[in-house]
Amino acid sequence: MTTKKRKLLEVTNNIHIFRDQKVMLDRDLAELYDVEIRVINQAVKRNQNRFPEDFCFKLNTEDLEASGSQTVILRKTNSRNYMYPTVFTEQGAYALSFVLRSDKAVEMGLFIARAFTYLRRFILKNENLMMELKNNDHLSKTFSNFEKRIEQNFIVLYKNNTDQKKKFSAIEKRLKKLEKLLK
């Protein structure tokens, strides 16, 4: 696997789903852009008109409860208080790369846009097969929630590199078996 491909997979590991949107946490973007989280928060405050709610938003308790298996670590502000992270959609991460005004931020912003595109293509590639399954009455009963599980499994798979290859391989085998059944 090339270094670029490996880095792309690492970035997709940092894409989470909150409020039915694919987002990245402020701490992950700070690491990629090589800045502190407070710098990101300041940039967003100074440029509020560039970050509407569909570009970035603060997580809340309900978001964390609804996330289920996704692990999001709250940041400690002091010994008793915790701070909920800010998350950025694809557009927000890209906008952030321009307001930070560093070469590294612009470079990584473009790279993050490519990671979101890579993830979207993977999902769309499997969506065509799922449409065929849904149109087959016999198989549609068995695989009614399969499409959601594929997307969820894809995101979870990249979070755990040890189990990733085994699970991905199993999904591919299932999809190939289903393709054969449809033919």
Q: Which residue has the higher pLDDT, 155 or 54?
A: 54
Q: pTM for this structure?
A: 0.61
The answer to whether 101 touches 31, Cβ cutoff 8 Å, is no
d(CA 96, CA 29): 9
The pLDDT of residue 70: 47
pLDDT average, residue stretch 41-57: 94
The pLDDT of residue 78: 63
DSSP string, 151-176: HHHHHHHTT-HHHHHHHHHHHHHHHH
